Amino acid sequence: MYAVSFYDSDPDATPEQFQRLIDTYPRHRAYLDEFALSGDVLMIGTFGDPATQGSMAIFRSREAAERFRESDPFWTEGLVFGSRILDWDPIVFAGS
């Protein structure tokens, strides 16, 4: 069972709040790169317009998704408007 984590954007974010995300991104990326060494995150990224659509990540387990979120600077510094983690049981096709 995998886990999918969603970060929702604040629909009423001000330019100052968006700038805080930009300023925090290098620390978020450094944390992500270190976390990825464990192999527990498979994919992560933003949707077409991250300012309004947010982002998602796919983890090997719910525990990994929760562990990532609890120390992610975007989360710990209150820059995520909302977040949810869903268990995911995908069908994986041969050759994928």
Which amino acid does the sequence have at 91? Answer: I
Handedness of CA 59, 85, 14, 46 (dihedral sign): positive
| Cβ atoms of residues 18 and 89 within 8 Å | no
**pLDDT tens over the chain, length 96 residues:** 999 999 998 988 888 988 999 999 999 999 999 999 999 999 999 999 888 899 999 999 999 999 999 999 999 999 999 999 999 999 989 876
Select 2-88's CATH number: 1.20.140.10, 3.30.110.30, 3.30.70.920, 3.30.70.1060.
3.30.70.1060
At which residue do the structure tokens 């989360």 appear? 75
pTM of the model: 0.90
d(CA 14, CA 30): 25
